Amino acid sequence: MRTMRAAIQFRPESPLEVVDGVEIDDPARGEVLVRVSHCGVCQSDLGIAAGKLPYPFPVILGHEAAGCIAAIGEGVDDLKIGDRVVLSMKAPCGACSSCLSGQPVMCDRSGGPLNPKDLAAALPRVRLRGEPITRGLRLGAFAEYVLAERSGVVAVPDQLPLSEACLVGCAVQTGLGSVLNIAQVRGGDIAAVIGTGAVGLSLIGALRVAGAREIVGIEVHARRRESAIAFGADRVLDPTASDFESIVAALVFRGGFDHVFDVVGSAQTLAYAGKLVRKGGAITLVGVSPVGLPLAIPALDIVMRQLTVRGSFLGNSHPQRDLPRYMDLCCGGRLDLSALVTRLRPLEEINEAFEDLRQGLGIRTVLTL
């Protein structure tokens, strides 16, 4: 057991508190203990913090993390102390029906504290003064240390800074996996991306890798619109502009898009997705929608236009199969990770980092520990 510093949220909608003396267990068989160096602040963390998603409190949030191996459990013989690694919050067991059918992110045994089958997440591995603390999204990486299953830990190339590599654990694997694994975009396809934060920009980069002929973004924040062009979008629309609806109507009139990716997940963006997709096209829902939000596309429209509507959770990425490939793309200059990280903050500024996200400031704020 070790003690550490961590940012804990004790109640929904309350500020996070940085606390010393938090206890964390030693790694069990098949696990590693990672000393976290960097952790991105993600919209999923913000949703839990705001009480929009059901979750047990108190909780240590944070899941987009990278660091170095600090201790190794029994049965892990291919990593060593000091290795630089990135973490995935969905470590597939490799043996359940979901894993065996090619759906690693749907692993039956790694669903978090609300899944009765996820015995690892249910164990009180982290405590404060003897009271258990939930590890948010199976990691709880707004802390100096995290416990992780070996299958969710991937070595980071030497040339990739950990401040950038951490984004591969969530935003990048979601964006690239949504294009390459879920939508399986082909060369010559045209695509629209609604929302161009860290995930949306990763999507745009992946669309370029896949050979998309035309990419149109939709984004409310001016700086993110500029970033989307830099990442490869041909055009980025402002949904608050007076001519936005007429431009959308013109795009629809010419036939629509082969693929529409909704990275926001609001009622309005779902409606836009339904308008923009061509007959026989596909809508991929990536953004985490509020609980209970209905799909704003008429069922008859889906039938008569033969639309495909599907979800993408972490891009159906398998850590050991996909994350090395994604990092190779980054190291090879196909995706500029450095442009996604627009601010570094110390752990003590976690609440300010959340405010960055609420206000849409920059692309990704990364915490340093």
Please write down the HEC assignment for all residues of the chain: CEEEEEEEECCCCCCCEEEEEEEECCCCCCEEEEEEEEEECCHHHHHHHCCCCCCCCCEECCCEEEEEEEEECCCCCCCCCCCEEEECCCCCCCCCHHHHCCCHHHCCCCCCCCCCCCHHHHCCCEEECCEECEEHHHCCCCECEEEEEHHHEEECCCCCCHHHHHHHHCHHHHHHHHHHHHHCCCCCCEEEEECCCHHHHHHHHHHHHHCCCEEEEECCCHHHHHHHHHHCCCEEECCCCCCHHHHHHHHHHCCCEEEEEECCCCHHHHHHHHHHEEEEEEEEECCCCCCCCCCCCCHHHHHHCCCEEEECCHHHCCHHHHHHHHHHHHHCCCCCHHHCEEEEEEHHHHHHHHHHHHHCCCCEEEEEC
Q: Is pLDDT at 102 greater than 60 in this prediction?
A: yes
Output the pLDDT for position 27. Answer: 97
**Full set of structural domains in the chain with CATH:** 2-155+336-368 (3.90.180.10), 181-312 (3.40.50.720)
Mean pLDDT, to the nearest integer, of 6-31? 96
In this prediction, residue 118 carries a pLDDT of 63
Average pLDDT of span 222-226: 93
For residue 113, name the pLDDT band (cuts at 50, 70, 90). low
Task: Please say if the pLDDT value at position 117 is more than 70.
Answer: no
- Mean residue pLDDT across the chain: 93
Give tens-digit pLDDT for 55-72: 889 999 999 999 999 999
Instruction: Please tell me the pTM assigned to this model.
Output: 0.93
Asked if the model's pLDDT at residue 218 lies above 90, the reply is: yes
Q: Give the percent of the chain with pLDDT over 70.
A: 97
What pLDDT was estimated at residue 47? 85
The pLDDT assigned to 116 comes to 54
Give me the pLDDT at residue 152, please.
Answer: 95
- Would you say residue 54 has pLDDT above 80? no
